[in-house]
């Protein structure tokens, strides 16, 4: 049976509908992640009497627990596509948000928040969502991932502003309820109806290319080979990428969780810090879209290394900041550095191919998640102990310098060695 004409020659490449659904999922899934938590961290702890260490520890436990599920969700995404995982994830996360609205004790917060983090990391954000985009794009992978990952900061900025608006009027519990209604109301149906595993399943090619153009267009970073999990684990590129990503995420997650508290520590009011977060998120959005295009034209790992060094400059400026313009400079450099995030995830597909992307991302998550979850808790403990973020910032500067060096030295892996078939006996 021939493929319907609408699928053979679509006016709009179906991959962009995939990007749209993933964008929406990452936008709403961010409600359980670091930036919205940072936006209500102070009123939450003031009202409940819990310490910042206790609250951020829940996020860390959730991320660690989610990392152990990552290889499983990755394998499921490779075999069956992201549709079931993302649809189910939207339902579970919506229920978690509603539960957080009515929690009364710390153990209830831990149970719900940990489930929420595990669900988000293994459905709406992370492996399944990135798998959907990587499967549908090769030549334009950087810009496609750039568009979808920009949703985390658009969502973070919107939700942080919404949290700051709702909290003084209705209380911090209203924030969770609003996120729950939005997640259940506008994500579940599009995820169930529109998501597809890969373009070949409906008679298309990645990027919307045709037979005539597919061979003439290339990705400057892609190895052009599909690695199995065993083959990838035997390469130094896999481990260099995993460790460098760990260091980068350690800094990013720590700064996201403590962004508003750090700016308040530097002398801004909470309202000023929330507006600053929104401004940084808008700048980050622009940077991610721009870096996606740059990463499709130049080696992604080199671009990441350069902009991580720019992040070092920004953190050094923040450490010494005593005037508004210095904080503004930090925001500008940090937002620009944030643009490299989609390139990091696109690199996994570029280096190791599409066939086992989700599985590889899941296994790699067992490594890089530790940096993402330990350091926000450490930062909270340091502040609770010293009432200062100075030591935290120096630690983050060191991590970024080492991580930048790791990306600078990273190169694509050699093609996997093909296993010759055993000749049949005559």
Convert the pLDDT of each residue in 375-424 to its tens digit. Answer: 888 998 998 899 999 999 999 999 999 999 999 999 999 887 654 444 44
Convert the pLDDT of each residue in 204-258 to its tens digit. Answer: 888 887 765 555 555 555 656 789 989 999 999 999 999 999 999 899 888 877 8
pLDDT at 7: 44
HSE on the CB side for 145, CA within 13 Å? 33
> Helix, strand, coil: what percent of the chain each, to 5?
75, 0, 25
d(CA 109, CA 113): 6
pLDDT at 418: 55
Convert the pLDDT of each residue in 138-164 to its tens digit. Answer: 888 888 888 888 787 777 777 777 777
> Residue 6: is its pLDDT beyond 60?
no
Average pLDDT, the chain: 82
pLDDT at 213: 58
pLDDT at 260: 82
Q: In the structure encoding, which two tokens stand for residue 281, read together?
A: 């998120």
Model-wide pTM > 0.75:
no
39 or 231: which leads in pLDDT: 231
pLDDT at 10: 59
126 or 266: which leads in pLDDT: 266
Instruction: List phi, psi (to 5°) of 339.
Output: -65, -15
If 0-12 CB within 10 Å is exposed, 13-18 middle and 19+ buried, where does residue 11 land? exposed
pLDDT at 4: 44
Helices (H) and strands (E) in the chain, counts: 19, 0
Convert the pLDDT of each residue in 40-76 to its tens digit. Answer: 777 888 888 888 778 878 877 887 787 788 788 888 8
> Residue 425: is its pLDDT beyond 70?
no
Q: In the structure encoding, which two tokens stand for residue 320, read together?
A: 């010494």
d(CA 80, CA 390): 47
Segment 13-23 mean pLDDT: 91
> Residue 1: is its pLDDT beyond 70?
no
Q: Give all domains of the chain, ordered by start, each with its CATH number.
A: 12-408 (1.20.1250.20)
């Amino acid at each position: 049976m021939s493929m319907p004409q609408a699928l053979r020659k679509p006016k709009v490449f179906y991959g962009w509908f995939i990007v749209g659904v993933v964008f929406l999922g990452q936008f709403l899934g961010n409600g359980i992640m670091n930036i919205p938590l940072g936006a209500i961290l102070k009123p939450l702890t003031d009202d409940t009497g819990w310490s910042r260490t206790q609250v951020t520890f829940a996020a860390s436990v959730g991320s660690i627990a989610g990392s152990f599920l990552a290889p499983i969700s990755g394998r499921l995404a490779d075999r069956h596509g992201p549709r079931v995982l993302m649809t189910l994830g939207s339902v579970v996360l919506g229920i978690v948000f509603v539960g957080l609205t009515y929690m009364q004790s710390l153990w209830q917060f831990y149970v719900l928040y940990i489930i929420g983090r595990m669900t988000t990391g293994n459905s709406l954000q992370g492996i399944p969502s990135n798998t959907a985009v990587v499967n549908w794009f090769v030549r334009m992978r950087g810009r496609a991932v750039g568009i979808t990952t920009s949703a985390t900061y658009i969502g973070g900025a919107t939700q942080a502003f919404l949290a700051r608006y709702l909290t003084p009027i209705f209380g911090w519990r209203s924030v969770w309820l609003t996120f729950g209604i939005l997640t259940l109301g506008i994500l579940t149906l599009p995820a169930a109806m529109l998501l597809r595993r890969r373009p070949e399943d409906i008679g298309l090619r990645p990027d919307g290319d045709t037979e005539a153009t597919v061979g003439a267009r290339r990705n400057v970073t892609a190895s052009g080979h599909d690695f199995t999990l065993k083959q990838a684990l035997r390469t130094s590129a896999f481990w260099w990428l995993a460790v460098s990503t760990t260091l980068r995420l350690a800094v990013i997650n720590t700064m996201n969780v403590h962004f508003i508290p750090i700016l308040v520590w530097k002398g801004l009011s909470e309202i000023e810090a929330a507006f600053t977060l929104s401004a940084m998120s808008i700048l980050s959005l622009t940077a991610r879209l721009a870096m996606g295009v740059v990463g499709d034209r130049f080696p992604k790992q080199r671009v990441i290394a350069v902009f991580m060094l720019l992040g070092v400059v920004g953190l050094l400026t923040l450490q010494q900041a005593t005037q508004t313009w210095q904080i503004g400079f930090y925001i500008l450099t940090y937002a620009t550095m944030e643009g490299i995030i989609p390139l990091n995830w696109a690199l996994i597909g570029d280096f190791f191919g599409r066939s086992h992307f989700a599985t590889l991302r899941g296994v790699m998550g067992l490594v890089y998640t530790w940096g993402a979850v330990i350091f926000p808790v450490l930062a909270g403990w340091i502040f609770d102990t010293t009432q200062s973020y100075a030591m935290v910032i120096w630690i983050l500067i060191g991590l970024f310098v080492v991580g930048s060096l790791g990306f600078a030295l990273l190169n694509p892996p050699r093609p996997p060695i093909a296993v010759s078939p055993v000749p049949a006996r005559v």
